[in-house]
Amino acid sequence: MPRAGLSPAKVVEEAAALADETGWDNISLAAIAARCGVKLPSLYKHIASLEALRLEVSTLALRELATAMADAVLGKSGSDAVLALSAAYRGYALAHPGRYAGTVAAPTGEHQGQLEAAAAVLRVVEATLAGYGLTGDDAVDAARALRAALHGFVHLEINDAFGLPADIDRSYRRLVEGIDAAMASWV
């Protein structure tokens, strides 16, 4: 019989918290079982495998990221929207570095919820880019450029790879301002 209060959602929550504390690559079923106060075999009543758990955490993270970005850009367009989206993206990555790592790889198609959550992130990005008049292949190219720039910066920041004494917030703002200028003249 499953432990009272333990559910698949609770297992995913614990895995997401563990990822943020110790890193995406350190999610293990043994560690989650210990956090949940159950023996490893009991965990399988709530989750099928480590891969299934990672897909669930990725789905949770993508949903959270989509919500954060959508809330940030609501009622904004153009420069204001891309600045807000970028701030929300960075804020999420810094607050949840482990789960953020679960948002990086493209969905494999193995989990419908993950596909839907990734699509929600993309819709926010597409709506933001539409403010620059970008559609079709131009929008795809711009979305890839935006993601590459933002991810590169936050990945380096999360890993303490900026050793220079200059203000990191200023550097990020300048990066986003450069992206904004590029998007304005993309077509």
**pLDDT on residue 80:** 96
Give the CA distances from residue 68 to residues 62, 84, 88, 95, 123, in Å, rounded to whole numbers and listed in that order: 10, 10, 6, 12, 13
- First-to-final CA distance of the chain: 60
DSSP-assigned letter for residue 26: G
> At 27, which amino acid appears?
I
- Among 139, 65, 137, smallest CA distance to 102 is for 65
Q: Is 134 helix (H, G, I), strand (E, B) or coil?
A: coil
* pLDDT tens digits for range 90-132: 999 999 999 999 999 988 888 999 999 999 999 999 999 999 9
> At 20, which amino acid appears?
D
Q: What pTM, to 2 d.p., does this model score?
A: 0.93
* pLDDT tens digits for range 133-171: 998 999 999 999 999 999 999 999 999 999 888 899 999
**pLDDT on residue 4:** 56
Q: What's the rounded Cα separation, in Å, for the pair 182 and 95?
A: 28
Sign of the dihedral through C-alpha 23, 28, 34, 36:
positive
Q: Which domains does the chain have, with CATH numbers?
A: 58-184 (1.10.357.10)
Beta strands in 47-109 (DSSP E): none
pLDDT confidence band for 3 (50 / 70 / 90): low
